[in-house]
Amino acid sequence: MAEIITDCPRCGAKITSFDIKGSNTIDIIAGWKYTLELFCICRACKNGTIFVVSQKGYHDEITNIVSKKENINDLIDILKYINVKENSTEKPPLYLPEDINEIFQEGITCKSVECYNASATMFRLCLDKATKDLVPNEDTNGLNNKIRRSLGLRLEWLINNNYISKSLEDLMSCIKDDGNDGAHEGIVTKEILEDIYEFTYILLERLYTEPKKVQLAKERREERHKK
C-alpha cells in the first residue's frame, strides 16, 4: 500500500506513517504538475486526514498514486492539510499590493474560524496601510497628527476632503465606531465583523481593483489599435 511519512495533525505524532486510501486531482499546472488531495489514515491514531500535495518532478508519476506499493514522499511536496479554514470561499479583491493581500487573506482565515476580534484587526490593518499614503504631507483643512494616527479620524478626513468617495461614508461608520470599540474592548460580534469586512473589501476595490482594471482595458485597447 502507498504511504507517506509526515506529522499527524489529528494526534500530534511526529514523523509518522500514513496509508493512502484515496486521491483526487484538483489542479494541473503547465500540463504536467499535478496537485492532489490524498485521503490518508494515520497508523498511530487511526484517524483520517486529507493532505494537499503537488508533484515534485516532471517524471514523477502520481496520478495512480493509490496503487503504488511503497513510500511516495520522494514524489511529492506536502503543501497543507484540509481543516476548518477551508470552509471559507471568500477571496481578497484583485490586484492588491502583496502585503495588503496577505493581511486580507489572514483576515479571511480568522473570519472563517470565528476569531472575530483577530479578523477585524487584520481588516483594519489593511485599511491603515491602504489609506496612509492618501493623506497629504501638509497640514491642510484641519489635518493634524492625531488624524494621521487614527484610522477612524483619517478615513473621516479623507471622505470629507474627497480623497475617498462620499458614497462610502455610511459604511465607514463601522470603522469609526464599532471597529475602534472592538479593537480595544474585545467585543467584535459576527455582525460587526461583516460590516468591517464589507467596507474594507469595497474600499480596497475602489483603491486598487478598479484602477487596475481600467489600466488593463486601456492597454488592451491600445494593443488592438496597433494592429
| Sequence ranges of the domains in the chain | 3-82, 98-222
DSSP conformational letter for 92 = P
Stretches where the chain sits below pLDDT 50 are: 178-184
pLDDT for residue 182? 41
pLDDT of residue 181: 42
Per-residue pLDDT, 184: 47
Closest by CA position to 194, among listed 130, 126, 96, 107: 107
156 C-beta neighbours (distance < 10 Å), count? 18
Residue spans of alpha helices (H) in 96-162? 98-112, 116-132, 145-149, 151-160
What are the C-alpha distances in Å from 73 to residues 15, 39, 220? 12, 15, 45
Residue 183's pLDDT is 47
Given this model, what pLDDT does residue 110 score?
Answer: 93
